[in-house]
Amino acid sequence: MILDELRHPIVQAPMAGGTSTPALAIAVCEAGGLGFVAGGYRSVEAMQADIAAVRIGTTAPFGVNLFVPGVRSVTSVAVDEQSVDKHAVDAQALQLYVDRLGPEAEHYGTQVGVPRPDDDGWAAKLSALVADPVPIVSFTFGAPSAREISDLQGVGSQVWLTVTDVAEARAARSAGADVLVLQGVEAGGHRGSWLDVDEPEGLSTFALLRLVSRAVDLPLVAAGGLIDGPGIAAALVAGATAVQLGTAFLLCDEVGTHPVHRERLGGDTPTALTRAFTGRTARALRNRFLDAHTRGAPAAYPQVHFATAPIRAAAREQGDGDGFNLFAGQTYRLATGGSAAELVKSLGAQTRQALATAATRAEP
Amino acid sequence: MILDELRHPIVQAPMAGGTSTPALAIAVCEAGGLGFVAGGYRSVEAMQADIAAVRIGTTAPFGVNLFVPGVRSVTSVAVDEQSVDKHAVDAQALQLYVDRLGPEAEHYGTQVGVPRPDDDGWAAKLSALVADPVPIVSFTFGAPSAREISDLQGVGSQVWLTVTDVAEARAARSAGADVLVLQGVEAGGHRGSWLDVDEPEGLSTFALLRLVSRAVDLPLVAAGGLIDGPGIAAALVAGATAVQLGTAFLLCDEVGTHPVHRERLGGDTPTALTRAFTGRTARALRNRFLDAHTRGAPAAYPQVHFATAPIRAAAREQGDGDGFNLFAGQTYRLATGGSAAELVKSLGAQTRQALATAATRAEP
């Protein structure tokens, strides 16, 4: 088991859309953590290039993350019988939202993108990973079919599935997952929920850890709100084998975080959950776009992602932090930055320190 | 410091409305935890009777919890300049909601209660606690004035304030609090937020613990989602001096939990946040009433509390778990029950075990 052999129990979260870089994955791996290539939003060729770059930089094990497209997760592991309907996009709500985006596009001197369904190159990416295996393949937004999972396992890859509640955890186990990534509601970026339905319970990382620990006997990686040594140590005490950190790395040198995003991470704005940017629930720093559009944004992923893409790109180019997604977890104020390798080593040491201190409290 | 001298770092959450009982507080105190009298919703005389009962049953320190009425928290420690407006009740929204409750009342053979403001006997309760001091007075829904806090401290009581974000934690410190109770979004029952505004960030217990640990130098009691030894141990590792448990006790013999509520705690229904029952955000098991009325319920506390009171009482009497508030935290499925004293001792032992095990993971 790769997790047991890590020098530090720290997994770098795959942050798609240019945030994660091969340099980040290499730095984390070389420091004794576990780096990830973010395969989501990339062409199969770009994903392969990232994998090749990581292999040049490190001989340590690493992972690749893929997004499970909506239709796949329905045909493979259905959470309940209504799954098919729950994945359906409300065309009228989507059109209304696209209309609302018109003035935004105009404001940034661009046009609203064409909303369309897309499977993010699913079959091609899976084939590429079976043909040229990597140590770990993790999935977000659902589960591949049992066959797809066993194909990956058959070529020696571990399969990790991201879950946000106990039902998903049980389904992931049934599908054949080797490891579960438990993503709490604190996490920055997209919620990994298999279905993006309204009014989920929103289990926190530690609630999820305790509930899943008692329900499913698999190694657990805790994600969401973990950003410093005492928090990481707490997750290990609560039953995690390792933690997955995303926001913790956002200020690091090797990460593609936009300068304006970096600046706002130094502020005090609260985060919020929103579908405004991509049509799928995600946690980001509140900004003008989020506040203006959260209420009207439908559950329509990746249609909304494509519709807002030119607006977000233009806002980024213009350095306007009020026009694109400033993904961040609830504890972002504690992110430090610097070199990712130094951060992994420092967090590893702080974690051991917190665990050693814990022992002194065990005395009656 | 009372917290440092507890045999087990476990505080029993004050659960108002007949759930907490003097017998529960006594059992927890005698087992080596810290019991609480729930002073909210009680007359000053009933609160005094509960205090007298606890004093007969135990010589250990205990606490009394009070609800801070809306107007008080505005005049004392304002979170921001708009506080006054944020406390104002939307009379039209309230009337609309009261109208919607008509069929509910009819269904249960009763009438909608009269919605009215109320300060829960604030001045009388404070005077009683100054005249006849208890070891700890904790507050929910805001902070008393600095003067009221120092009056209590002047007669030897510790003052604990409940907070749900970093701004409230800083304000509580400024107001003179001795201890902060950090209530995460996982917690069952009412959110202790000082202002019940829409779209709060909803910080989890552990996010709050890490953020407040780094911002305010006071002993912290963690509340929300903590229900078993590993979770409690994790909170201590993350910086808590003790934990406050509510849902953990809901199935205990000494607790006034309704039989139907107990039964549903054995099920698998998700929890949700709602203002449907009292006009103030609270976490409960989803049931028919919650699902039907959450969307229409205004932020109007305690007006809605009084409006729904006869309906809830009738549903309780009829044993209909779809008509009253089944408060529960996110991890309620792990609640066990039995004797509260045994539970405290068992959780204390599990916690020490988890801390001792943690030390073995500190080795490089």
Pick from B4, B210, B220 the residue to mutate for testing the A interface (most A CBs within 10 Å). B210
Q: Contact B238/A234, CB-based, under 8 Å?
A: yes
Residue A116 token pair: 């369309």
Indicate the number of domains in chain A.
1
Residue A205 contacts B where some CB pair is shorter than 8 Å: yes
**pLDDT range class, residue B78, cuts 50, 70, 90:** very low
Sheet bearing A271-274, strands edge to edge:
A189-190, A282-285, A271-274
Please give the pLDDT value at position A126: 98
Please give the pLDDT value at position B81: 44
Please give the pLDDT value at position B89: 87
Q: How far apart are CA B168 and CA B172, in angstroms?
A: 6
CB within 8 Å of chain B, chain A residues 73-112: none
Which residue among A199, A205, A236 places its CB closest to the CB of B361?
Answer: A236
Please give the pLDDT value at position B27: 98
Task: Mention every residue, 6+ apart, whose C-beta is less than 8 A from residue B34.
Answer: B2, B3, B6, B10, B11, B12, B28, B60, B61, B62, B63, B136, B242
pLDDT in tens, A297-339: 999 999 999 999 999 999 999 999 999 999 999 999 999 999 9
Residue B352 contacts A where some CB pair is shorter than 8 Å: yes
Q: Contact A206/B359, CB-based, under 8 Å?
A: no
- The rounded percent of chain B whose pLDDT value lies above 90 is 90
Residue B294 token pair: 């959450």
Residue B330 contacts A where some CB pair is shorter than 8 Å: yes
Which residue among B209, B334, B363 places its CB closest to the CB of A211?
Answer: B334
Does ipTM come in above 0.90?
yes
Q: How far apart are CA B129 and CA B137, in angstroms?
A: 8
Element (DSSP H or E) covering residue A303: helix A303-317
Looking at beta carbons, which residues of chain A come within 8 Å of B284? none
Whether the pLDDT of residue B72 is over 80: the answer is no
Whether the pLDDT of residue B208 is over 70: the answer is yes
Before A302, cis peptide (omega within 30)? yes
**Average of per-residue pLDDT across B29-56:** 98
Q: Specify the length of chain A in residues.
A: 364
A-chain residue closest to B239, CA distance: A230
Please give the pLDDT value at position A347: 98
A-chain residue closest to B283, CA distance: A201
pLDDT in tens, B215-250: 999 999 999 999 999 999 999 999 999 999 999 999
Which residue among B237, B272, B361 places its CB closest to the CB of A230?
Answer: B237
**Average of per-residue pLDDT across B162-179:** 97
CB within 8 Å of chain B, chain A residues 122-161: none
Q: Contact A359/B354, CB-based, under 8 Å?
A: no
State chain B's mean pLDDT as an integer: 94
Pick from B7, B168, B361 the residue to mutate for testing the A interface (most A CBs within 10 Å). B361
State chain A's mean pLDDT as an integer: 94
- Residue owning tokens 């980024």: A316
B-chain residue closest to A350, CA distance: B362
| Under 8 Å between Cβ of B210 and B239 | yes
Residue A356 contacts B where some CB pair is shorter than 8 Å: yes
**pLDDT range class, residue A200, cuts 50, 70, 90:** confident
pLDDT in tens, A56-101: 999 999 999 999 998 544 333 444 444 445 567 899 999 999 999 9
Please give the pLDDT value at position B364: 59
- Start-end of H helices in A83-203: 83-87, 91-107, 122-131, 146-154, 166-175
Query: For the domain that residue B107 is a member of, what is the CATH number?
Result: 3.20.20.70
Task: Mention every residue, 6+ apart, whose C-beta is less than 8 A from residue A228.
Answer: A248, A331, A334, A347, A350, B210
**Average of per-residue pLDDT across B342-348:** 98
**Average of per-residue pLDDT across B127-134:** 98
Q: Which of A86, A61, A72 is nearest to A125 (CA)?
A: A72
Please give the pLDDT value at position A81: 45
CB within 8 Å of chain A, chain B residues 252-271: 270-271
| Under 8 Å between Cβ of A280 and A98 | no
| Under 8 Å between Cβ of B138 and B152 | no
Q: In the structure, how many helices (H) and strands (E) does chain B have? A: 14, 11
pLDDT in tens, A247-295: 999 999 999 999 999 999 999 999 999 999 999 999 999 999 999 999 9
Task: Mention every residue, 6+ apart, whose C-beta is less than 8 A from residue A127.
Answer: none
Domain span at B110? 2-360
Please give the pLDDT value at position A358: 85
Looking at beta carbons, which residues of chain A come within 8 Å of B211? 330-331, 333-334
Residue B326 token pair: 């089944």
Task: Mention every residue, 6+ apart, whose C-beta is less than 8 A from residue B147.
Answer: none
Looking at beta carbons, which residues of chain A come within 8 Å of B185? 185, 202, 204
